[in-house]
């Protein structure tokens, strides 16, 4: 076999060594606290959920294993994730150190394996807290993003509790791998799509003219292969690349090796392209790279990829996939703080929920999640905006620049193989030093590793409008003027009654506001900005909270979509799911129970959306003293995000009592709508309001084609005197 892998996951011994607090000068302070007892831990694990809750500091992990060394091959000790820093010993000899919470890394350990079959591996993991006030939260030194500082994590943004739930541990797989001395180090691929035929005056680099190219495209596939190890003198060495599509069609090329890097170009005249789920199929190719010495295959590397070209214009907010314009209906995802405990079942449910809400893009917000999530988005046809792990304030020392540049390169190298990743973002809501000093260096570092994707320097505060939550009123979304790509907006909502009571440690009323605050509940914004009525019981409080969030999201997203490509080209609602039992801006709780806001996303994110801007949700019998019966003008519109014509449609509007006691048909129209467009239907007047009893009603729109409903929407209104 070319590679032999020995799995080192399983039961490890662990011993907590020290509680550690990081100081402002970078030194470590030993905290005088009782050291937890030794024990055994199933690896992979984050120690917070595996016997060491809220521990911060240094833990030694030990694993004994039996394996006869292979004297003909090189041995590599591989880790797919350790948080945050670690030092490694094998058979009593020091191997090396790694720092960073998300990277896969490895060490060659051939000289460290003794002749016997019995071996001892020791890994000392260090994940400290940072000294409150003097370091955390505004002068942080650890690059962990939302894993260490966030208002939606355990303990919220509080000097005493904000670092609870430390994410330290060996959260990824550990294995020992034997490889031939000369082997493949890494493979990267970039696709460029060009028309088979085009007009002479078309410049493919011109954004405005890109729509003029012929729809028939061919794919130029640039593959870079890096090899490791000394090549034997006098032996012919080659790289063989094989591309295999889903139907088994094979494209193969052999290229001589002249250095440690080899570039190969494929041209596919009839490529099967990868699209988002709402534009087409997610065709994938198996990319197999083989290293040959004198025609003998000595190493193999393979993975799946999609052929696509993604363009992002930050000036207009316009995204294009394979030359086709795409309006981004996105959300922010932080599936779990403790990556070892983000299970396959949770991941599968998350993807189903995302597609169920018609999401076509996600922002992996200020962290790097498990590799399986990226692969799942490739398969599901969901684009990814990938943030780096810098947020808010850090120390102004040069060391943070150096560490950030190194780690952002690690992130790009590790993730750039995933087809769904479309944007690299270097930091989030950062302060002056990070924006002006660190920022340009991060952009440069990213482009050195990947110049095929758009690099967003920082997700600024002006990309995060929060009217109706952090001041102002949600009505401000109707006249929104701001960034062309909105990466955050929303409002908090309580999860289910049962989950909220659990956070409150019981059903006692009124709530324990301190306990809810520990679970990220924002008292001031809830009662003084959003003016949500808590009522006098849990059911009322939860209902009103979720109703407010749903109403805000509906107003904001319909306003964004109605101004598509005029005011903006992308939005990312904040946020989709909770990463721990919490009260946040999520529309799905930590237990993956949808809130009302989730069903609102299902409604307003429909690729074909019928809607209107009512301007008001209360209709009165008489608008002014002495006036006649009012007429309400309703101006419906239909948005088609799909790239296909929809012909012979019927629009119908009706008014329905909330209690189901009556239904009145108001308007019908027939129309057709072209691809990727907004179509304004004929306005109609709603007369004779006074014939309806005062109460709650629902204005219902429906679009059908050949008796099939292709879009439905509704608006809650009140009729009164």
Taking only the tens place, the pLDDT of each residue in 332-373 is: 999 999 999 999 999 999 999 999 999 999 999 999 999 999
The class (CATH top level) of 4-179 is mainly beta
Taking only the tens place, the pLDDT of each residue in 530-586 is: 999 999 999 999 999 999 999 999 999 999 999 999 999 999 999 999 999 999 999
DSSP 528: I
pTM score over 0.85: yes
Q: Inform me whether the pLDDT recorded for 623 exceeds 50.
A: yes
pLDDT of residue 617: 85
Burial of 218 (0-12, 13-18, 19+ CB in 10 A): middle
pLDDT of residue 213: 45
Which of the residue ranges 254-258, 326-330, 683-687 has the most confident prediction, judged by mean pLDDT?
326-330
pLDDT of residue 443: 97
Residue 116: CB partners within 8 Å, gap ≥ 6? none
Q: Inform me whether the pLDDT recorded for 472 exceeds 50.
A: yes
pLDDT of residue 433: 83
User: What residue ranges do the domains of the chain occupy?
Assistant: 4-179, 183-308, 316-387+460-491+547-605, 609-720
Q: With bands split at pLDDT 50, 70 and 90, how would you rate the model's confidence at 32? A: very high
Q: With bands split at pLDDT 50, 70 and 90, how would you rate the model's confidence at 242? A: very high
Q: What is the CATH number of domain 609-720?
A: 2.60.40.2550
The class (CATH top level) of 183-308 is mainly beta
**Dihedral pair phi/psi, residue 547, rounded to 5°:** -65, -40
pLDDT of residue 209: 40
What is the average pLDDT score of the chain? Answer: 93
Q: Do domains 183-308 and 316-387+460-491+547-605 have the same CATH topology?
A: no
The mean-pLDDT minimum among 117-121, 206-210, 304-308, 309-313 falls in 206-210
Instruction: Report the percentage of the chain scoring pLDDT > 70.
Output: 96
Between CA 432 and CA 137 the distance in angstroms is 15
Is the CATH code 3.20.20.80 the one for domain 316-387+460-491+547-605? Answer: yes
Q: With bands split at pLDDT 50, 70 and 90, how would you rate the model's confidence at 397? A: very high
pLDDT of residue 626: 57
pLDDT of residue 691: 76
Strands 129-130 and 10-22: parallel
pLDDT of residue 205: 45
pLDDT of residue 206: 43
pLDDT of residue 625: 60
Taking only the tens place, the pLDDT of each residue in 177-194 is: 999 999 999 999 999 999
Q: Report, as an integer, the average pLDDT of 513-532.
A: 97
> Residue 7: which of 105, 68, 79, 74 has the closest Cα?
79
Q: Helix-strand-coil percent breakdown of the chain, rounded to 5?
A: 20, 40, 40
């Amino acid at each position: 076999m070319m590679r032999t892998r020995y799995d080192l996951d399983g039961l490890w011994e662990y011993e907590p060594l020290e509680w550690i607090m990081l100081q402002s000068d970078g030194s470590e302070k030993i905290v005088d606290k009782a050291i937890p007892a030794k024990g055994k831990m199933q690896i992979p694990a984050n120690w917070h959920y595996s016997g060491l809750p809220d521990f911060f500091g240094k833990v030694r992990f030990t694993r004994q294993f039996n394996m006869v060394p292979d004297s003909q091959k090189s041995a590599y000790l591989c880790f797919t994730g350790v948080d945050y820093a670690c030092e490694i010993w094998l058979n009593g000899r020091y191997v090396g150190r790694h720092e960073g919470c998300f990277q896969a890394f490895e060490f060659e350990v051939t000289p460290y394996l003794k002749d016997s079959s019995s071996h001892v591996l020791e890994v000392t993991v260090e994940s400290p807290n940072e000294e409150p006030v003097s370091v955390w939260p505004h002068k942080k030194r650890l690059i962990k993003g939302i894993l260490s500082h966030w208002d939606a994590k355990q303990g919220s943004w509080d000097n005493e509790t904000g670092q609870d739930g430390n994410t330290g541990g060996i959260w990824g797989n550990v294995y020992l791998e034997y490889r031939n001395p000369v082997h493949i180090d890494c493979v990267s691929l970039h696709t460029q799509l060009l028309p088979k035929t085009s007009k002479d005056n078309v410049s493919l680099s011109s954004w405005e003219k890109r729509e003029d190219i012929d729809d028939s495209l061919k794919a130029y596939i640039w593959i870079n292969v890096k090899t490791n190890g000394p090549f034997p003198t006098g032996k012919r060495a080659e790289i063989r690349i094989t591309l295999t599509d889903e139907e088994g069609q094979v494209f193969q090329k052999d290229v001589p090796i002249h250095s440690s890097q080899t570039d190969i170009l494929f041209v596919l005249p009839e490529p099967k392209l990868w699209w988002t789920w709402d534009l087409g199929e997610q065709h994938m190719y198996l990319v197999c790279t083989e290293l040959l010495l004198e025609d003998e295959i000595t190493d193999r590397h393979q993975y799946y990829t999609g052929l696509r070209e993604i363009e992002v214009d930050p000036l207009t907010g316009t995204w294009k996939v394979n030359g086709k314009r795409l309006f981004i209906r996105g959300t922010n995802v932080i599936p779990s703080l403790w990556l070892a405990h983000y299970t396959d079942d949770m991941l599968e449910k998350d993807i189903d929920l995302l597609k169920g809400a018609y999401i076509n893009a996600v922002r992996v917000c200020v962290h790097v999640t498990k590799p399986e999530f990226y692969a799942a988005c490739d398969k599901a046809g969901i684009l990814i905006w990938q943030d780096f792990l810098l947020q808010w304030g850090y120390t102004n020392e040069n060391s943070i620049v150096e560490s950030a540049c190194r780690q952002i390169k690690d992130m790009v190298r590790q993730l750039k193989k995933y087809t769904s990743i479309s944007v690299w973002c270097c930091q989030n809501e950062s302060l002056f030093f990070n924006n002006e000093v660190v920022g340009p260096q991060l952009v440069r570092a990213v482009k050195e590793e990947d110049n095929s994707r758009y690099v967003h320097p920082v997700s600024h505060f002006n990309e995060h409008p929060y009217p109706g939550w952090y001041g102002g009123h949600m009505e401000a979304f109707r006249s929104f003027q701001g960034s062309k790509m909105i990466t955050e907006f929303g409002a908090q909502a309580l999860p289910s009654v049962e989950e909220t009571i659990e956070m409150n440690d019981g059903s006692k009323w009124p709530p324990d506001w301190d306990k809810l605050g520990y679970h990220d509940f924002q008292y001031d914004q809830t009662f003084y900005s959003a003016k949500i009525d808590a009522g006098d019981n849990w059911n009322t409080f939860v209902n009103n909270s979720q109703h407010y969030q749903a109403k805000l999201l509906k107003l904001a997203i319909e306003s964004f979509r109605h101004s598509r490509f005029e005011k903006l080209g992308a939005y990312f609602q904040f946020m989709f799911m909770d990463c721990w039992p919490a009260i946040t801006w999520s529309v799905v709780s930590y237990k993956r129970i949808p809130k009302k806001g989730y069903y609102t996303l299902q409604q307003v994110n429909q690729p074909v959306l019928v809607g209107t801007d009512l301007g008001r949700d209360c209709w009165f019998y008489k608008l002014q003293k002495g006036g006649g019966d009012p007429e309400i003008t309703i101006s419906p519109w239909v948005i088609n995000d799909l790239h296909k014509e929809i012909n012979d449609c019927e629009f119908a509007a009706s008014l329905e009592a909330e209690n189901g006691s009556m239904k009145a048909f108001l308007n019908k129209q027939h129309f057709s709508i072209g691809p990727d467009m907004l179509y304004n239907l004929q306005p109609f007047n709603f007369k004779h309001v006074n014939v309806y009893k005062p109460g709650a009603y629902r204005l219902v729109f429906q679009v059908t084609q050949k008796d099939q409903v292709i879009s439905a929407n509704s608006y809650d209104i009140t009729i009164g005197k």
